Structure 1
Amino acid sequence: MRIIVYGSLRRGQGNSHWMTNAQWLGEYRIAGYELYDLGHYPAVIKGEGEIDCEVYRIDSSILAELDELKNDTRDYKRELVQTPYGSAWMYLYLHSVEGLTRIDSGDWVHRKHDE
């Protein structure tokens, strides 16, 4: 199975250690989504933009760990999306993004350059 990550799980980011045992497949810019800044990590919702992501091959134990990480906040749901590497799971934000800063570039890693 595969997962698509767009924020703190990406290489070089604060939670990238969660992906240590995953196989990196490549980068991908996915259309139809918007990226918002929640502070230490981002929120993604369906929308008009594009976001920069990384796609990984994972096993069920990694998916279970990520589900636990995301479900601790009760802020995300997992949805299957299509990528050039095959279908992949992606976490979408469940709450309103009203009042949050949108990262227009769609790139969490380089978000400071948007300001």
Structure 2
Amino acid sequence: MNTPAIAVTRTPLVAVYGTLKRGLRNHHWLHGADFLGKDILTTATLYDLGPFPGAKPEPSRGIEVEVFRVTAQQLAGLDRLEDYRVRYPKHGDFDRAIHTTAFGPAWLYLYNHEVTGCSVIREGPWFPRQPGGRHVVV
């Protein structure tokens, strides 16, 4: 007796910490993605790069992320936005790596460039700046 094979597909999770968060300027890239909730990651530290933050794989007291379930097409769009280069991940602006979240393993985009002189965020969320340099609290 032949039993049909059951295809198991795994929808990727993405943990976002900057302009992709709900209410911020690049959130439209996640249109249609399932918001799973907020989490705190102690496996990354954020650096304020001005118009957006960059994460480095350094221990922290807990940065705030939002976790989404995305389609393969949405993940490909995020890769383009973040200049993640599949074949040469260290050559783009961001690489990505799996980090453990309360919702399961999730991709986290990690900044590839130097962060010397940037403000460090070792705890809590990143906030965008308004004209004049002050951070906007959302």
SS of 1:89 mapped into structure 2: strand
Deviation at 1:110, TM superposition (A): 7.4
Q: Which has the higher strand share?
A: 1
Deviation at 1:38, TM superposition (A): 1.1
- Rg larger in structure: 2
Q: Which of 70, 78, 82 is matched with 2:96 structurally?
A: 78
What is the TM-score of this pair, normalised by structure 2?
0.75
Matched, 1:10 2:16: no
Matched, 1:68 2:80: yes
Counterpart of 1:54 in structure 2 is 66
Structure 2 gap segments, 5+ residues each: 1-11, 85-90, 130-134
What is the TM-score of this pair, normalised by structure 1?
0.89
Higher relative contact order (CA 8 A, sep 6+): 1
Task: Indicate conservation of the 8 Å contact 1:35/1:106, yes or no.
Answer: no
Q: Which has the higher helix share?
A: 1
Listed one character per residue, the Cα deviations across residues 7-42 of structure 1 (whole Å, up to 9, x for unaligned) are 000001111111111000000010021111111110
* Equivalent pairs, count: 113
Identity across the alignment (%) = 38
Compute the RMSD of aligned alpha carbons. 2.0
